[in-house]
Structure 1
Amino acid sequence: MNYRHAFHAGNAADVMKHAVLAWVLDRLRTKDAPFFVLDTHAGIGRYDLDDQAATRTGEALRGIRRVLADGGADRLPEAAKPYLDLLNRLNDGVSPIRTYPGSPLITRMMMREQDRLLLAELHAEDVQTLRNLFRGDAQVAVHHMDGWLSLKAHLPPKERRGLVIIDPPFEAPDEYERMVAALALAHRRWATGQYLLWYPVKDRAAVWKLHQMLEDTGIPKMLAAELCWSDDDQSGRLNGSGLILVNPPWKTQEALSELLPALGTALAAGNGPTGCRWIRDESGKTA
């Protein structure tokens, strides 16, 4: 319970996962039918990049502010447009941006009047901040609860379509195992839902183990995407950002194969491994 994302908001990992999240949500909006989103580790939803917490680490300067500096947004591919558009809307076109959205606010900004968002957050102060942010919003429900338990409590939803965002703080040593077990449970309850799971790239052996555990679940349509800014043999530090997408939208691999290297260039991310591959494809076969 020590992790506070305010110190890391807008960093390179946020840029990667939120650009992909916005693209996935944009794909969900292409059909008129309502969609449901469950965010299991929601945080506070909105961050001030000029706040003391953010300026202390300077991570946003090396993250989203670096990406947007000197017209950098113009050099990103079409797949980045949903993310860039909402940042521009949230900051009224002011540069450098000051307000940075977490996944709850990104989701809410991309929802339509027929869509629904449920947020789970365990930290007592953060859940109150989240409730204040969405006070009076009938389309958003905020629950003070363990995010892992929210998967059992709130799946399947009444909607046939939607997304589950799983972005834990990775404070516990068994977080990878919990993530895999939680995904397996959630997928059994709602096999048609889309899932977006974030993981840190620190130790490559641990990432290989995660991918193997995911492969062993037998869940089909599972894509792994990574953007790494350091060689992944430098164990003990954050070398990159990874995502697992289950039931991703059509042409996700093609979009991310263009988006991720472009983000890496914009972040001056170095030569770490970047790209995506199927853990299990649509037929259930492994890569």
Structure 2
Amino acid sequence: MFSYRHAFHAGNHADVLKHTVLIATLDHLLEKDAALTVVDTHAGAGLYRLDGDYAGTSGEAAEGILRLLSGKKEPAAPAAAAAAPAAKSAAKKAAPAAEAPLADAIARYLGVISDFNPKGGARVYPGSPFIIQHLLRDHDKLKLFELHPTDSRTLSANIAQLEAGRQIAVLLEDGFGSATKFLPPPSRRALVLMDPSYEMKTDYGRVLDFAAEALKRFATGTYAIWYPIIPRPEAHDLPRRLKTMATKAGKSWLHATLTVKSSKITKDAASGETQRPGLPASGMFLINPPYTLKPLLAEALPQLAERLGQDRNATFSLESGG
């Protein structure tokens, strides 16, 4: 049950998508003076060293934040261009993509990462808890849930260094089972981030159950759900069922995905060994998203697909409703 450690995956392409969306969402919500409560149901350790043993073992950051910082791209043209014919036509008249200004949402994300790395690069990668705390104001609140015993201890130690006092609460509890106790918050303003590992198939159903209960308790909250796009029926059913839930509740929704490579399992020609692709894609689904988010992602997603794409299957999607 406790085998998943996000330290192995910190800074990968899924983190780039999740944190780009998270920052853009927070920036909008923090424009109002009223206090904001942020709940992270699966907080992890909070802060990661990309030159440490865990991240160094997987090397996933090399195809995520590190590639984005370097500006290097795969030679193969991503399929993202085919997803937007109108954009292709306009691109013929515009400057080459490599010379185009960085999308505002990406630049903002990289700016936050640089705040944790004053000497440049990305030796330190902030997880969602530290990104959120970095952006919050003194009168905002942050509730962090982490059930993994080792990560919870590490999270508590990392958070203690911030000397944030009562602004941040770290709870060694099941976020899906306990987080709704903070809804609605006294200020009636909240963002809830759900990003479990989905290591267990039951996580997909628990996301749906939690979102349904949270909407009943606090219908005007903003809910952000990250999920992996993998060859598993539950992964493809989740966004569809979330759309149905939001629509029935009369709530607006936004769904963004980023694919960086093929999901096909192949065999090495020389060794004959089966090669699995790892995580090829991920998505972010938001209920009650900021109205500013879609235009920001419409600009950012094509660039992320181009810059992080690992083969010709790289693409993106962006849709909304309600």
Fold similarity call, TM over 0.5: yes
**Stretches of structure 1 lacking an aligned partner (at least 5 in a row):** 283-287
Shift of 1:260: 1.2
Structure 2 counterpart SS, 1:60: helix
Structure 1, residues 214-252: CA drift from partner, whole Å, max 9, x if none? Answer: 233223212111001124566984220101111111132
Identity of matched residues, %: 39
1:126 to 151, 159, 167: 151
Shift of 1:75: 4.5
Look up the match of 1:285.
Answer: none
1:224 to 249, 255, 258: 255
Look up the match of 1:262.
Answer: 303
Shift of 1:168: 0.2
Higher relative contact order (CA 8 A, sep 6+): 2
Structure 1, residues 36-81: CA drift from partner, whole Å, max 9, x if none? Answer: 1000000010000000111111111111011001599994211223
Kindly indicate whether the alpha-carbon contact (under 8 Å) linking 2:184 and 2:190 is maintained by their aligned counterparts in 1: no
Look up the match of 2:268.
Answer: none
Matches within 5 A, 1:199-238: 199-203=227-231, 205-217=233-245, 218-219=248-249, 220-231=251-262, 237-238=278-279
Which deviates more from structure 2 when the two are superposed, residues 80-89 or residues 42-51? Answer: 80-89
The answer to whether structure 1 residue 80 and structure 2 residue 81 are counterparts is: no
**Stretches of structure 2 lacking an aligned partner (at least 5 in a row):** 73-97, 266-275
Look up the match of 2:140.
Answer: 115
Letter in 2 for 1:245: L
Counterpart Cα distance in 2 of 1:82 and 1:182: 30
Count of matched residue pairs: 279
Kindly indicate whether the alpha-carbon contact (under 8 Å) linking 1:187 and 1:193 is maintained by their aligned counterparts in 2: yes
Counterpart Cα distance in 2 of 1:185 and 1:233: 36
Counterpart Cα distance in 2 of 1:116 and 1:103: 14
Shift of 1:108: 0.3
2:116 to 52, 72, 90: 90
Instruction: Identify if the C-alpha distance between structure 1 residues 36 and 242 changes in structure 2 by more than 3 Å, giving closer, same or farther.
Output: same
The answer to whether structure 1 residue 158 and structure 2 residue 186 are counterparts is: yes
Counterpart Cα distance in 1 of 2:99 and 2:158: 28
The answer to whether structure 1 residue 147 and structure 2 residue 175 are counterparts is: yes
Counterpart Cα distance in 1 of 2:42 and 2:36: 19
Structure 1 counterpart SS, 2:211: helix
The structure whose Rg is larger is 2
Instruction: Identify if the C-alpha distance between structure 1 residues 272 and 53 changes in structure 2 by more than 3 Å, giving closer, same or farther.
Output: same
Letter in 2 for 1:80: I
Shift of 1:197: 0.4
Look up the match of 2:88.
Answer: none
Q: What's the TM-score once normalised by structure 1's chain length?
A: 0.91
Structure 1 counterpart SS, 2:62: coil
